[in-house]
Amino acid sequence: MVLRYPNGKPYQPILPKKNKNNHENIIFGNRGMSLEDEINQSNQYYLQQDTAVIHKKPIPIQIVQVDYPQRSAAVIKEAYFKQASTTDYNGVYRGYYLDFEAKETHNKTSFPLNNFHEHQITHMKSCIKQAGICFTIIKFTATQEVFLLPASILFNYWNNQENGRKSIPKSIIEKNGFKIKYHVKPLIPYLTIIDKLIENLHKE
Amino acid sequence: MVLRYPNGKPYQPILPKKNKNNHENIIFGNRGMSLEDEINQSNQYYLQQDTAVIHKKPIPIQIVQVDYPQRSAAVIKEAYFKQASTTDYNGVYRGYYLDFEAKETHNKTSFPLNNFHEHQITHMKSCIKQAGICFTIIKFTATQEVFLLPASILFNYWNNQENGRKSIPKSIIEKNGFKIKYHVKPLIPYLTIIDKLIENLHKE
């Protein structure tokens, strides 16, 4: 049976990859791990270190039927995926509210905007009005490159889709975003970029 | 069939109450509505007014089996409730990170601490280290009184449970908490209390 996410993409458990060439495992130790897992692992490290409290929100589900077998845990027998009304991640760091989405793309030269839903953009715009810090973490899987892109850049491209362009060029992400180099503890040290954004806030 | 929450409490849909005395409906217009619904409604109002962005987190669920009937939405056929690792509500207001739990009690003179789990307390302590604002909204259903209690008071009682006292006296909640009077828009105007807490932060 194929498990699928609400967006229809098949669920892929994280298993050790069988590479033709084992050297790949040495160079790209995290290849095969989803961006979500990498970020969850990083957030766990940040939490343990008292650096920040950032969590992924559970998938929203409409429960219809629950069974209560004797001496066992309640079993949900019928439920449906609901559309989330927010982004996936939020939390607090140095007194700042952080809110973001994490997205992977197989594309090599641009990031397709159909990775986002209107309500996620609306949500981030609302958070920014409350002085929250909103952004996207984008991973180009082909090159295993990870960028932090401030929400303002995403909004520019999102708002101008009528003009025909349905994606953000990678060159723009490289220029206006911040490349996050893989690290060990944590795997994706994105808060060092947030430190820079906070510094800039105070300069303004 | 009885639907139950992960804590074993039966799920109660919000239906108009049949009261022996219909006058009760006039005096307590919101009687029969759960505190959760009242807060969700208030948060929706705050969001619409661009006052704050506060959401309840979905219930965390471990999905085991999903069916994909043709031409219909995916159906979750087997899933289990997981224990949440955070509190129920969080979001951003005036640049501040807010994090809280909402709890009702039928008790008349005290609020039992077994309404909380250790991990919720741990989570709030972590958030406070990051300068988040943490609290509990407590409703005494017998009198329909709602209070906002800063997390620091909750921690005091939580940490001293070995000494025998397993609840917070209502008198302490009245003295150290803030009574929230029911309003129309929003129903529970708890952010006016948060304004006071923020003012005090700046005085310190």
The predicted-structure confidence for B106-165, as pLDDT tens digits, reads as follows: 999 999 999 999 999 999 999 999 999 999 999 999 999 999 999 999 999 999 998 889
What's the pLDDT at A10? 58
Q: Is A68 on the interface with B (CB under 8 A)?
A: yes
* Residue B83 among known ligand-binding residues: no
pLDDT for residue A202: 85
* CA-based nearest distance B94→chain A, Å: 5
Q: How many Cβ atoms from other residues are within 10 Å of residue B173's Cβ?
A: 22
Dump strand ranges (E) for B20-170.
Answer: 53-56, 61-67, 75-81, 89-93, 96-105, 110-112, 133-140, 145-150, 167-169
- Binning pLDDT at 50, 70 and 90, where does residue A158 land? very high
Check pLDDT > 90 for residue B56.
Answer: yes
Closest in B6, B59, B73 to A80, CB measured: B73
Facing residue for B130 by CB, picked from A1, A53, A61: A53
- Identify the pLDDT of residue B201: 86
- Answer yes or no: is pLDDT of A51 > 90: yes
What CATH topology corresponds to A23-58+86-203? Trna Endonuclease; Chain: A, domain 1 (3.40.1350)
> Minimum mean pLDDT among A2-16, A188-202, B148-162: which range?
A2-16
What pLDDT, on a 0 to 100 scale, did the predictor assign at position B4?
61
CB within 8 Å: B57 and A59? no
pLDDT of residue A25: 38
Interface of A with B in 89-108 (CB under 8 A): 90-97, 99
Whether residue B47 and residue A126 make contact (CB cut-off 8 A), yes or no, is yes
Q: Give yes or no for residue A174 having a pLDDT over 70.
A: yes
Tell which wins on pLDDT, A33 or B45: B45
Contact A91 B90 (CB under 8 A): yes
User: What one-character-per-residue DSSP string does B9-30 give?
Assistant: PBP--------SSTHHHHH-TT
Amino acid at B128: I
Q: What is the pLDDT of residue A46?
A: 98
Mean pLDDT of the residues in chain B: 88
Which residue in A74, A77, A99 is closest to B81 by CB distance?
A74
End-to-end CA distance of chain A: 54
Distance from CA of B163 to the nearest CA of A (A): 29
Q: What percent of chain A has pLDDT over 90?
A: 75
Residue B55: pLDDT above 80? Answer: yes
Judge if the upstream peptide bond of residue B150 is cis by omega within 30 degrees of 0.
no
- B132 touches B97 (CB < 8 A): yes
Considering only alpha carbons, which residue of chain A is nearest residue B48?
A: A126
Looking at residue A164, what is its pLDDT? 85
Exposed / middle / buried, residue B4 (Cβ in 10 Å: 0-12, 13-18, 19+): middle
Residue A34 pLDDT greater than 50, yes or no? yes
Residues of B in contact with A69 (CB under 8 A): none
Pair A89, A57: CB distance under 8 Å: yes
Q: Could you tell me if B81 lies within 8 Å of chain A, comparing CB atoms?
A: yes
Residue A71: what pLDDT? 82
Predicted confidence band of residue B195 (pLDDT cuts 50, 70, 90): very high
Supply the CATH classification number for the domain B23-58+85-203. Answer: 3.40.1350.10
Q: Determine, for residues A73 and B66 on separate chains, whether the beta-carbon distance falls below 8 Å.
A: no
Establish, for the pair of chains A and B, how many residue pairs have beta carbons separated by less than 8 Å. 127
Residues 6+ apart with CB under 8 A from B37: B14
Q: Do the annotations mark residue A104 as ligand-binding?
A: no
Alpha-helical runs (H) found in B79-190: 118-129, 151-159, 170-176
User: pLDDT (tens digit, 9 = 90+) per residue, A98-149?
Assistant: 999 999 999 999 999 999 999 999 999 999 999 999 999 999 999 999 999 9
